[in-house]
Amino acid sequence: MKSLVLEHLAKTYFDPYRGTQVEAIKDLSLTVEEGDFVAVVGPSGCGKTTVLNMIAGFVPKTGGRILVDDREVSGPGPDRGVVFQSFALFPWKTVRENVAFGPKMRGVGKVERARIADEYLEMAGLSHAADRYPNELSGGMQQRVGVVRALANNPDVLLMDEPFASVDAQTRMTLQEELTRIWEERRPTVVFITHDVGEAVFLANKVVVLARGNLLAEVDISLPRPRVWDSLVHDNDFKDLSNQVLQLVRSA
Ligand SMILES: Nc1ncnc2c1ncn2[C@@H]1O[C@H](COP(=O)(O)OP(=O)(O)OP(=O)(O)O)[C@@H](O)[C@H]1O
């Protein structure tokens, strides 16, 4: 089953400062199968965030089609969950209320949405923080809440835009391992944008390399799971794949 299909997607911005058009995405076609984990990499300005924002429905496309589960996307919707670099949690709500917010918007009753929130919080090792407020949590914990808040909505596609870029290196590795564990357990369809080639290869089943608004390459990552840094960091296949993707990004 195909969860997400991009067909000849294009985006041209108007740059008001220069008075010129910017072709951010030229002609991009891509299929993401249900339950797949795709990471998108490429040099700064190649159009990664533009693609994600078009899939999310935040930025209107200027050409092509986006299909989620065979339905054409025309704006934001609960079928697509988004996790940003900034945590974007509601500061006046507890962690449990933040996670329960999506189910609440979908009309899920109070008892059931608290149950859903507690289930996801337990999965992310956050049960102890359920009654705390976001400003009482570390950046890494806030980002964990951001991830499970998006998952609790049961989206068809989870869109992640450099979600771990603003936490320290140690926390980032822990979050990457947790995300792979959660993904293996729930198998959501994920599109994950990152600058970090190692992160992309560690997390994904497929790495997509963009270059100047076009698809440059798709690299299958068939490393065994579960993936943990302690073993992968010494793994020759991991090193070879990371080098292959790095060369592609550098040639882009
Ligand atoms: N709102 C906008 N108006 C005009 N041009 C834009 C706008 N947003 C992005 N662009 C341009 O579109 C191109 C792609 O930008 P985008 O942010 O999608 O790239 P990116 O690969 O995500 O970059 P980075 O890795 O630096 O975040 C760039 O040339 C950028 O300057």
Please list, in sequence order, all residues whose beta carbon lies within 8 angstroms of the beta carbon of residue 22, skipping any fewer than 6 positions away: 12, 13, 14, 15
**Residue 49 shares a structural domain with residue 114:** no
**Residue 48 shares a structural domain with residue 64:** yes
Structure tokens at 91: 């500061």
Cross-strand bridge partners of residue 14: 21
**Residue 164 shares a structural domain with residue 191:** yes
**Residue 112 shares a structural domain with residue 47:** no
**Residue 85 located in a structural domain:** no
Structure tokens at 4: 């997400």
Q: What is the CATH classification number for the domain harbouring 166?
A: 3.40.50.300
The whole-number pLDDT of residue 87 equals 66
Tell me the residue length of the chain: 252
Which of 107, 139, 154 finishes a domain?
154
Q: What is the pTM of this model?
A: 0.92
Q: How far is residue 142 from each of residues 63, 81, 136, 139, 164, measured CA to CA in Å? A: 36, 16, 9, 5, 11
The whole-number pLDDT of residue 168 equals 86
Binned average pLDDT, 10 residues per bin, the chain of 252 residues: 89 92 95 96 95 96 95 91 83 95 91 93 90 92 89 90 88 90 91 96 98 95 94 95 97 88
**Residue 121 shares a structural domain with residue 244:** no
**Residue 84 located in a structural domain:** no
Pocket test for ligand 1, best of 11, 21, 41, 49 (most atoms within 8 A of CB): 49
Q: Which domain holds residue 140?
A: 91-154
Residue showing tokens 């870029």:
165
Q: How many domains does the chain have?
A: 2
**Ligand 1 pocket check for 198: Cβ under 6 Å:** no
**Residue 121 shares a structural domain with residue 182:** no
**Residue 141 located in a structural domain:** yes
Structure tokens at 195: 């600058």
Cα of 245 to ligand 1 centre, how many Å?
21
ipTM reported for the complex, 2 dp:
0.97
**Residue 37 shares a structural domain with residue 96:** no
Structure tokens at 100: 């329960």
With contact defined as beta carbons under 8 Å apart, do 137 and 146 qualify? no
With contact defined as beta carbons under 8 Å apart, do 36 and 183 qualify? no
**Residue 163 shares a structural domain with residue 73:** yes
